[in-house]
Structure 1
Amino acid sequence: MAVSSAEAARVAAALSIDRLGPYLRSADGDIGKAVCLYEWNLAVSGAFYEALGILEVVLRNALSEQLIARHGSRRGHWYDDPFRVLSDQAHADIAAARERIAKLGRVELPGRVIAELNFGFWKFLLAKRYEATMWTSHLRHAFPNLQPQSRAVVYRAVDQLHTLRNRVAHHEPIHERDLANDMLVLFRVLDWIDADIRSWAIDHSRLRPLIAGRPR
């Protein structure tokens, strides 16, 4: 929706020209068009945040289920890492998650630890270093609809979405990305995990009309 020149000037002053810089460049220096593009960026970022939230929860639950199966009947939980397979960074992430739970005065439960581990933690479980130790035996089963079951394919897709998620979370411009491709990759990963959840996510997503409505 078009904005008046006075409104555009007020918004530009409040946000700063530096903040509007990427949008001004895309709008050939037109402040009014830049503000419209900024507004659209906010809206499509919000829609991606919603869809990425679904993806993150579904992904971590699917991977955690396989890690629980791998842990079996041993004492403790998979994140205690009795096999000593996880990286030092993964151990640091787990320790930080447990510390956050303790600081909140909450009882440490597996579900709470899993929820405290960030998107990056789950992405790196799909890295090449774990192909022989975790992917081949268990993690690939988190993606029953992926054929052939290629760890590298999953990692590239999740890495792309992790980058997008970080830009959205930090209120960065995403208007120059191929957002239609980002959307397809997001729904593709959900489909690899659960086709019904993919359909549900699509039904509740605002992405398609927003992406199609990008200001010219």
Structure 2
Amino acid sequence: MDNQKEQLNSSKYELFILISEISAALWVHIAVFEVTLRNLIHSLLTKISGSEFWWRTPNLLSKRDHLDIMRIEQKLPSDKASVSSYKVMERISLSFWVELCSSRYYEKIWKKIEVEIPSLLERRKDFYSKAREIRNLRNVIAHHGPILRRDLFRDHAYLHELTALLDPELANEV
């Protein structure tokens, strides 16, 4: 009888631990994708605008997106000399970076990404759709949601595919 109780208690924790392990394994790939996307877009927009603080470029971002970044800047230490673009960048959400790949930013940003990475030519809709799925997966994992309801094999394939489009060498490493 005691053995049966132990098995019941053990199994409820085993599932939780299994889900946590799967989430942790996926998190590595999500982090690689997020940082790769962020660095690529930051690099490209820095080059185009001529400034590391490209988000200050008039009419580049929507009003809402611009305000989101201004809020991030305001939360940083008030010593403006110590504010680096990287300190701002690392606080910008994955959702923001993914939305820069949306149709709203096709002319201002995506077409320039296509020039830098020809393999992305005419793949914006597909890239954006898969990147949104990655963002949704990231949010489910970050908030300890039910990941087993997702198609995790598909999600993993998307992570690899999108990372490979941005940085093929890195994708082979993870």
TM-score range, shorter chain: 0.7 to 0.9
Counterpart of 2:57 in structure 1 is 81
Greater alpha carbon shift after TM alignment, 179-188 vs 101-110 = 101-110
Counterpart of 2:156 in structure 1 is 183
TM-score calculated relative to the size of structure 1: 0.71
Q: Give the whole-Å Cα distance in 1 for the aligned partners of 2:35 and 2:173.
A: 14
3-state SS of 1:86 partner:
coil
Counterpart of 1:209 in structure 2 is none
Which residue identity does 1:111 align to in structure 2?
Y
Contact map agreement 2:164 2:170 (CA 8 A) in 1: yes
- Please report the RMSD computed on the Cα atoms of aligned residues, expressed in angstroms: 2.5
Shift of 1:8: 4.2
Counterpart of 1:116 in structure 2 is 91
3-state SS of 2:36 partner:
helix
Structure with the higher helix share, 1 or 2: 2
Q: Identity of paired residues, percent?
A: 24
Summarize the Cα distance change of 1:181–1:106 in structure 2 as closer, same or farther, 3 Å threshold: farther
Contact map agreement 1:101 1:107 (CA 8 A) in 2: no
Does residue 127 of structure 2 align to residue 151 of structure 1?
A: no
TM-score calculated relative to the size of structure 2: 0.87
Which residue identity does 1:112 align to in structure 2?
K
Q: Which runs of 5+ in 2 are unaligned?
A: none
Summarize the Cα distance change of 1:106–1:199 in structure 2 as closer, same or farther, 3 Å threshold: farther
Aligned with residue 126 of structure 1, among 101, 118, 125: 101
Summarize the Cα distance change of 1:187–1:151 in structure 2 as closer, same or farther, 3 Å threshold: same
- How many residues of Structure 1 are paired with residues of Structure 2 in the alignment? 172
Q: Which runs of 5+ in 1 are unaligned?
A: 12-31, 202-216
Does residue 142 of structure 2 align to residue 164 of structure 1?
A: no
Greater CA radius of gyration, 1 or 2?
1
Contact map agreement 2:52 2:85 (CA 8 A) in 1: no
Cα displacement string for residues 85-142 of structure 1 (whole angstroms, at most 9, x for unaligned residues): 3112211221122123227998111111111111011011011111122211x12345
